[in-house]
Amino acid sequence: MPREKEAKRDTLTTRQGRPVTDNQNLRTIGDRGPATMENYHFLEKMSHFDREEVPERVVHARGTGAFGYFETYGKVGDEPVEKYTRAKVFSGEGKKTPLMVRFSTVAGAKDSPETERDPRGFAVKMYTEDGNWDLVGNNLKIFFIRDAMKFPDMIHAFKADPVSNVPDPTRMFDFVSRSPEATHMITFLFSPWGIPATYRHMQGSGVNTYKWVNDEGEAVLVKYHWEPKQGIRNLTQEDANYIQSRNVAHATQDLYTAIERGEYPEWELFVQIMEDGYHEELDFDPLDDTKLWPEDQFPWLPVGRMVLDENPTDFHAQIEQASFGTGVLVDGMDFSDDKMLIGRTFSYSDTQRYRVGANYLQVPVNAPKNKVRTNQHRGQLDHRNPEEGSSDPSINYEPSMIGGLEEAEEKAPQHQPTYNAAAMTKPIDRPNNYGQAGETYRNLADWEREELISNLSNVLSQCDERIQEAMVYHFSQADEEYGRLVKEGIEKKTQEMKDMQEEEMPGREAGEQSRYGKGT
């Protein structure tokens, strides 16, 4: 950040407010030590440093974020938004709602390169007049799996070997080859769509299916999509390697500096709407997050736009501690029965209670901007605003005849889905694992398809032959040419790797460099 030369500087104090006169030297007996034990400033400084980091996110650890606003069009396409949802965030053309966004990669650790081939997280928190709404999405519109039960195994397989801590594509493709529903997502991920050029130049999507509920309590199924006004830009593997060799934080830097320059990135929000139901006319299940909803049948309808015009002032407080969840909905929105969505809704707040603490919702970036009045208090680091809570704080329970908080009046009928089916543990009956994967393959531009085959061949040539065969089978089921080209690519790469092994290791010989210790 640019600094003024003569700016007035404040005095350093301890966390107890006492001015610090020496921040360079320990208190010692004589100038060479030993150090004394009662050195309060040192002990506090060091012990706070020892606790500076909170656990990083178990997924999406590497990320950055910014603040801005959402402006509603008050309409869904040409229709009034109230036809579909009573959520106030969408009503009243031109109304602005403050928000924050966090973008991320998924598998890498907190400081990992931002050029990784990985889905990108696109999480938005809107501070609406009716409480917070989180739309926790990704850049790609679909996902690897369709049942939350598989998520912990999937992430284990995608991360480094737990014994050696070495990343190994065999692990990822071992899992994927036994999960044919991932064929579609793998097709996007290994094409250039798997490495967006920057966060500003990527789309976002809610991925899972949600519901909108109107004033009559009627619901429709809905999918959300963010479209960048800056355009979409993706990288080839070679471009990504080049950037990574020079900068491991290029996407964070790009977003931050663009906002500093006053080039505020903007996205338009679209929804796809489908009548709630089984939809037997479709060859996929509308609740299956490995599928796209075809645009010609379910058009993208604009509902508003988002502008990011403010950088964080403290990365840890505002971005690292930001906590999003799929359960964070407002009146006028509801869950669909998408099995991933339901599983996710447990996971987010559960991990945040561990990662940030029981009172993570009191951290300013997570707290709603409307008044919170709850009897859920106490716990570590409870620092509620005394002006919030109850006007009668001694009645910290509900119901009560004598005081305390009261339930809100129900202003519109609830959406009440009804069920009549046996409980079971079974996959869905319309998996159709390959149809859309083939379509996506054929829809790619020529250069994107070439990249896809080359990237898959590179990575699969490092895998066990059984895994190679299984993956070629899946790609062939999606499209005969797709499978054949990956097979040929693996054979070619395997031969190239054999030839390379015969070449010498790079590095200078001993004797050509300076010597320390024995240094032979």
Positions in 184-243 near ligand HEM (CB under 6 A): 207
Window of 58-66, 271-279, 329-337, 388-396 that interacts with ligand HEM by CB under 6 A: 58-66
Looking at the Cβ atoms of 73 and 360, the one nearer to ligand HEM is 360
Angle between helices 169-177 and 446-460 (to 10 degrees): 110
Positions in 271-330 near ligand HEM (CB under 6 A): 322-324
Active-site residue identified among 23, 48, 132, 138: 138
The residues facing 306 across adjacent strands are: 70, 267
Which member of 136, 157, 273, 453 binds ligand HEM (CB under 6 A)?
A: 136
Dist. CA 332–CA 329, nearest whole Å: 8
Residues in the chain: 520
Known binding positions:
348
Report the run of H or E that residue 237 belongs to, with start and end: helix 237-246
Looking at the Cβ atoms of 271 and 490, the one nearer to ligand HEM is 271
Residue where the block lists tokens 């009716």: 130
Binding to ligand HEM by residue 59, rule CB under 6 A?
A: yes
Residue 481 burial by Cβ neighbours in a 10 Å radius (0-12, 13-18, 19+): middle
Positions in 330-349 near ligand HEM (CB under 6 A): 340, 343-344, 347-348
Nearest to 54 by CA among 325, 367, 354, 315: 354
Looking at the Cβ atoms of 116 and 451, the one nearer to ligand HEM is 116
138 counts as catalytic: yes
Tokens of 396: 């910290």
Known binding positions for heme:
348
Contact at 8 Å (CB) between 212 and 220? yes
Contact at 8 Å (CB) between 211 and 334? yes
60 counts as catalytic: yes
Residues 6+ apart with CB under 8 A from 351: 57, 58
Which member of 39, 42, 88, 148 binds ligand HEM (CB under 6 A)?
A: 148
Q: How many residues bind ligand HEM (CB under 6 A)?
A: 27
Contact at 8 Å (CB) between 74 and 96? no
Return the SS3 of 170: helix
Which member of 71, 74, 130, 151 binds ligand HEM (CB under 6 A)?
A: 151
Looking at the Cβ atoms of 60 and 211, the one nearer to ligand HEM is 60
Which member of 127, 143, 293, 475 binds ligand HEM (CB under 6 A)?
A: 143
Binding to ligand HEM by residue 99, rule CB under 6 A?
A: no
By CB under 6 A, name the binding residues for ligand HEM.
57-60, 63, 102, 104, 121, 123, 136-138, 143, 148, 151, 207, 322-324, 340, 343-344, 347-348, 351-352, 355
Residues noted as catalytic: 60, 138
